[in-house]
């Protein structure tokens, strides 16, 4: 999200990572207008206070997000029972969030220093990673919603597609598509004369700026959200019409819990990101008079988007019994029986299924043998 602009200037600027005194940023060709528009509304003390608070929140979000998502990655890789199709998509989402959290300190330092001291190469890397998270997250949530639709509406037909190996391949495709989508950021990111890290649009800047805002809104939010809503609408229709007659009671409970968890994660994502996109789209469809209050609100909205990355592990802990038990076991908060033996339990389950199959085969062979003996006796008697 660092790629996204401070939108409330009379002439849209080059896109830059949010920073506290962007009112004072150097915008080629707009210096005098900027001074005239802002000098009467800027409150330096309030800006400094807001900068300190927002920077502190950035570091808090970074710490919680790194710890939480690293824990998610660990438990999914550690326990065999956690390697479900849905959790593989969650793993991909957690990896994207970890990368984003690793870039957040650089964003926070630019906010505090009012400049970018790390050089242009690192600027491009941070912009790319930040943008990658923005698109990969929504794409992962879209795939999780499609997976829920297949699991609930087409539980039998989807079994050949809903496999961990297929999910891993799809995750790789998500990263590839995300890299293609963020090509504008990778190409045009750089340092301006302040220097501030951001996107340096070519002329006409206004056209590129507006096109980019609508592009990120459409591809990175609106269209995936339409797909997600369609998936859950079809799930609701299926549940209402069939009463979920397919499958065992235990399976139905399990599917309901997973669907509930995914739907809440999606809802929280929308709540965290919707204000940000409203601000951005509003900035190109109408003029908002820039004030310190408006800027502080925008800073909060940006932080809210980042905070979504640290909210997900908390949601998993409350909404998924498997995640909750895994977290408790890893953090030594509570020794959960059976978690360390998950792989052995799975092996026992596999052996049980094999024993049942062997019993069925033996029974069938015995029945065939008895039939053959009976036929032989009949033929002898005849």
Q: pLDDT digit string (tens) for 147-170?
A: 999 988 888 888 888 999 999 999
282-328 pLDDT, tens digit per residue, is 888 887 777 777 887 888 899 999 999 999 999 998 888 889 888 88
pLDDT, residue 259, reads 86
Q: Hey, what are 96's tokens?
A: 């994207």
Q: Which residues contact 136 (CB under 8 A, 6 or more apart)?
A: 92, 93, 96, 174, 175, 178
In sequence order, what are the beta bridge partners of 190?
198
CATH 1.20.1070.10 is right for the domain spanning 15-330: yes
Report the length, in residues, of the chain.
Answer: 382
Q: Which residue has the tokens 């369609």?
A: 230
CB 153 within 8 A of CB 235: yes
Q: What is the pLDDT of residue 336?
A: 64
Neighbouring C-beta atoms of residue 131, cutoff 10 Å? 28
pLDDT at 378: 33
Give me the tens of pLDDT residue by residue for the chain, a chain 382 residues long: 544 444 443 333 444 444 333 333 333 333 333 333 433 444 555 567 777 888 899 999 999 999 999 999 999 998 888 888 999 999 999 999 999 999 999 999 998 888 899 999 999 999 999 999 989 999 999 999 999 999 888 888 888 889 999 999 999 999 999 999 999 999 999 998 888 999 999 988 889 999 999 999 999 999 999 999 999 999 988 888 775 554 556 666 777 888 889 999 999 999 999 999 998 898 888 877 777 778 878 888 999 999 999 999 999 988 888 898 888 888 886 666 555 544 443 334 444 444 544 554 455 555 554 544 434 443 333 3
Whole-number pLDDT of residue 238: 84
Q: What is the pLDDT of residue 337?
A: 59
* Euclidean distance between CA atoms 20 and 85, whole angstroms: 42
Q: Is 230 helix (H, G, I), strand (E, B) or coil?
A: helix
- Convert 156-180 to b/e letters by CB count within 10 Å (16 or more is b): eebeeebeeeebeebbeebbeebee
- pLDDT of 251 reads 65
Say if residues 290 and 9 touch (Cβ distance below 8 Å).
yes
């Amino acid at each position: 999200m660092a790629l996204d602009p401070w939108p409330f200037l009379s002439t849209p600027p080059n896109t830059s990572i949010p920073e506290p005194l962007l009112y004072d940023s150097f915008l080629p060709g707009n210096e005098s207008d900027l001074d005239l528009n802002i000098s009467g509304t800027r409150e330096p003390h309030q800006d400094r206070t807001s900068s300190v608070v927002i920077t502190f929140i950035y570091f808090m979000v970074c710490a919680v997000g790194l710890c939480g998502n690293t824990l998610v990655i660990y438990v999914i890789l550690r326990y065999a029972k956690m390697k479900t199709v849905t959790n593989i998509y969650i793993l991909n989402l957690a990896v994207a969030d970890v990368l984003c959290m690793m870039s957040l300190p650089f964003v926070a330092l630019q906010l505090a220093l009012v400049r970018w001291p790390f050089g242009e190469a690192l600027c491009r890397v941070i912009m790319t990673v930040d943008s990658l998270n923005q698109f990969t997250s929504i794409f992962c949530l879209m795939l999780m919603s499609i997976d829920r639709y297949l699991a609930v509406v087409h539980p039998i037909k989807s079994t050949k597609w809903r496999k961990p190996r297929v999910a891993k391949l799809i995750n790789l495709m998500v990263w590839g598509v995300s890299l293609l989508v963020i090509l504008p950021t990778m190409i045009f990111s750089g340092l301006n004369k302040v220097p501030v890290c951001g996107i340096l649009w070519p002329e006409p800047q206004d056209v590129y700026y507006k096109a980019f805002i609508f592009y990120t809104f459409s591809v990175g939010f609106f269209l995936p959200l339409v797909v997600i809503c369609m998936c859950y609408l079809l799930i609701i229709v299926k549940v209402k019409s069939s009463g979920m007659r397919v499958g065992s009671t235990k399976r139905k409970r399990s599917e309901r819990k997973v669907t509930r968890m995914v739907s809440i994660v999606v809802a929280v994502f929308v709540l965290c990101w919707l204000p940000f996109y409203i601000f951005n789209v509003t900035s190109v469809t109408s003029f908002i008079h820039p004030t310190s209050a408006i800027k502080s609100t925008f800073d909060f909205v940006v932080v809210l988007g980042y905070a979504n990355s640290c909210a997900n592990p908390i949601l998993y802990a409350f909404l998924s019994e498997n995640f909750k038990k895994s977290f408790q076991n890893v953090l030594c908060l509570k020794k959960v029986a059976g978690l360390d033996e998950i792989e052995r339990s799975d092996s026992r389950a596999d052996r049980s299924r094999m024993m049942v199959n062997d019993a069925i085969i033996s029974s069938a062979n015995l029945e065939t043998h008895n039939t053959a003996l009976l036929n032989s006796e009949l033929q002898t008697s005849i």
